[in-house]
């Protein structure tokens, strides 16, 4: 995988994490909110780990 593909994949992961966090804010079901928040945090963590492995030292914007 090229560095451009890796960066694109990491950015997709970050976008998905933001979308999940946004969905969590707008749901009225507390269990669903917690599930979405946890999934968002997990995905954000994975994207940060992937970025560090690929040598991308810049934090997400």
> In the chain, what are the domain boundaries?
3-54
CA distances to 2, 31, 42, 59 from 50, rounded to whole Å, are 13, 29, 12, 12
pLDDT for res 52: 81
pLDDT for res 7: 85
Q: Considering only CA atoms, which of 59, 60, 61, 16 is closest in space to residue 39?
A: 16
The per-residue pLDDT for range 43-56, each reduced to its tens digit, is 999 988 888 887 76
- Torsion, CA 8, CA 39, CA 46, CA 21, rounded to 10: 50
What pTM, to 2 d.p., does this model score?
0.78
pLDDT for res 35: 97
Residues of the chain with pLDDT under 70: 1, 56-61
- Using CA atoms, how far apart are residues 24 and 31, in angstroms rounded to an integer? 10
């Amino acid at each position: 995988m090229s560095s451009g593909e890796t960066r694109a994949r990491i950015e997709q992961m970050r976008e998905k994490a933001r979308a999940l966090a946004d969905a969590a804010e707008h749901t009225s079901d507390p269990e669903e909110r917690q599930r979405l928040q946890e999934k968002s945090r997990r995905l954000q963590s994975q994207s940060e780990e992937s970025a560090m492995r690929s040598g991308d030292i810049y934090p997400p914007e």
